[in-house]
Amino acid sequence: MTSKPLIYLASASPRRSQLLAQIGVPHGVRPAALDESVLPGEDPATYVERLAQSKAEALWDQLVPEERLPVLGADTTVALGKVMLGKPANSAESRAMLEQLSGRTHQVFTAVALRSDAGCESRVSVSNVTFRDLTAREMEAYAATPEPLDKAGGYAVQGLAAVFITRIAGSYSGIMGLPLSETAELLSAIGWTPFAADVRAGAAT
């Protein structure tokens, strides 16, 4: 087990940091703040890939040569067709999102990008999530909790909202915010290998 970071994570999301630690990737956390507005005509896959790449590039450009490590950026959005649901600002917005998701299948798009000396490579994960019909009482109660407020689409698959979900097709970790299969593929390009003795689970933050 080592505490020396292999990469920097350009995200403040504790879930992404936990997922990296889960597969044994030592990392430092250095969030990159960007304007996350959707560009005119931008579809969900293009949107999350652009932001993931931009976050990785932004932090890479901030690093001085002596502290430079590969940078991992990621971004997630929830979409009903071409309509993207961002992060609710309050319980009313959370309730409105739940009403749209109730009894329907939506898509979760998550992109991951790795910036290194070799350039910037990215991958996009798309998962389908089906909600059962929700009652007004359930939506009101969930929206009143703090859980939805920093989550794309206004819910956390790993939290209380798990009771709403009847089916998932795709990457569970991608729905959480970091598709681990795609992340491992990108990290292999910088020499990281899953299950190797010198990369036991742990993270430097």
Residues designated catalytic: 75
Question: What span, in angstroms and rounded, lies between the C-alpha atoms of 10 and 61?
Answer: 12
Return the closest-CA partner of residue 153 out of 118, 119, 109, 117.
109
Question: What span, in angstroms and rounded, lies between the C-alpha atoms of 164 and 140?
Answer: 13
- Residue 191 to residues 27, 29, 39, 166, 197: CA-CA distances in angstroms? 15, 20, 35, 38, 13
3-state SS assignment for residue 149: helix
Return the closest-CA partner of residue 128 out of 88, 80, 164.
80
